[in-house]
Amino acid sequence: MNNHSLLSRRSLLGLLVSGGYVAWLGNIWPRPSPGEQQPGIPATNINDALKHRRGENSMPGKFPGKVVSSSNAALVAGGNPDGPLLESMVAQSLMTLTGASTVDEAWSAFLTPDDVVGLKVNPVAGKLLSTSPEIVRVIIRQLEHAGIPRKNIVLWDRREFELHDVGFTPENFPGIRIAGTEKKDAAGSFYDGNGKLYSEAMIDREWYYWADVEEKYDAEMIPYMINEGKYSYFSTICTKDLTKVINIPILKNAGSSVTLCLKNLAFGSISNTSRLHKQLWHHTCAEVPAFAPLRDKVVLNIVDGVKGCYQGGPGANPEFIIPFNTILVGTDPVAVDRVGYDIILRKRLEKKIQKEENPKARTFLEMADKLGLGISELAKIEVAHV
């Protein structure tokens, strides 16, 4: 089997694994207290995360419970985003969030020229439904104008080769580092000359999410998981390389739930994730961002709703992909996810994909709220429309 076929098979399997359980994601788990072990649910080391003292930038960040929603029906014309309009929407959203009079001032509320800034994108569903290169270019231009050197900007996700596949390449983004935890060499091999996974150098064994559940991986799957066992190690990209993170997920569903800010961070930042989908999806989405390498570094979330999906996610089914013509901005990932959840839910109800809300689909948001990562109750969230 050639490497392209292997990638296609495993990428598809990864989507099926995450999508295969979404039909019942909302039908499980009681609401726990922080650090409480639940009967019948595998234990995790979430209490380790809670021991680390929070900093001034820790989630939910500078503006807890505040979300800026910017929509314009003219954003997507002829299939491509209107660049100047998108630039204006991002700028206005940031100024509304921060109260700044200029976009440079708004960015300076979160970053300094000395920061190494990671743009956490999502390419897992391929070109059809990745974080749009257009919004990434807008953010990079604004960061540079605000004084962040290009050499201090890192485009990153879990799989470096998936970034390349959707167009996040050095050729398209000159001077920007493109980085992934799971890596292949120029010949398409995951292994070096000594038979060791390149990806092993990209995980930090001092930072991990432990869960009392494990799964055996075959020779084809292991490069996509890096390690087996009960430990999921954080990427060195977020533990060592970056000082700040801007999270740029896509507006899309996962069954009756969503894969927005928290999911993009949690499953994109650790190894050995396949074992976590079936029994601990909600827990992983809520608990992994509670660890310091994410909790203390993610200073801003910008949900890319230029286009998104309301069914078929986290993969990409063209039938359900539409231009939402929307971006959501906030420091509070829980509040942003809650607002995005309602956007997806309304579309699913409109299209009669579901007859009513399944509140248990929000379990991970309520768990994250109890862990102090943000506000999940809609009545307590301030939504500013621009």
pLDDT in tens, 34-80: 556 666 799 999 999 999 999 999 999 999 999 999 999 999 987 78
The predicted model gives 364-385 an average pLDDT of 98
Strands (E), the chain: 66-71, 76-77, 80-81, 117-120, 153-159, 177-182, 203-210, 231-235, 244-247, 250-254, 257-258, 298-309, 321-322, 326-330, 382-385
d(CA 36, CA 44): 10
pLDDT at 142 over 70: yes
pLDDT at 22: 40
Query: For residue 294, what are its two tokens?
Result: 């994410």
pLDDT at 316: 86
Lowest mean pLDDT among 76-80, 124-128, 172-176, 278-282: 76-80
The predicted model gives 198-212 an average pLDDT of 98
pLDDT at 106 over 90: yes
The 10 Å Cβ neighbour count of residue 237 is: 25
β-pairing, 117-120 vs 153-159, is: parallel
pLDDT at 19: 39
Domain boundaries, the chain: 3-385
- Amino acid at the residue 296: D
pLDDT at 12 over 80: no
222-237 per-position pLDDT tens digit: 999 999 999 999 999 9
DSSP 191: B
The predicted model gives 110-132 an average pLDDT of 96
pLDDT at 18 over 50: no
pLDDT at 68: 98
pLDDT at 191 over 70: yes
pLDDT at 34: 56
The predicted model gives 135-148 an average pLDDT of 98
How buried is residue 67: exposed, middle or buried, by Cβ count under 10 Å (0-12/13-18/19+)?
A: buried
Are the CB atoms for 57 and 289 separated by under 8 Å? no
DSSP 76: E
pLDDT at 30: 42
What whole-number percentage of the chain has pLDDT above 90? 87
d(CA 288, CA 208): 9
Confidence class for position 14, pLDDT limits 50, 70, 90: very low
pLDDT at 344: 97
68-102 per-position pLDDT tens digit: 999 999 999 877 899 999 999 999 999 999 999 99
pLDDT at 29: 40
pLDDT at 238 over 50: yes
Residue matched to tokens 């605000």 = 146
Query: For residue 153, what are its two tokens?
Result: 């900007």
250-294 per-position pLDDT tens digit: 999 999 999 999 999 999 999 999 999 989 999 999 999 999 999
3-class state of residue 98 by DSSP: helix
Averaged confidence pLDDT in the chain: 91
Tell me which of 166 and 26 has the higher pLDDT.
166
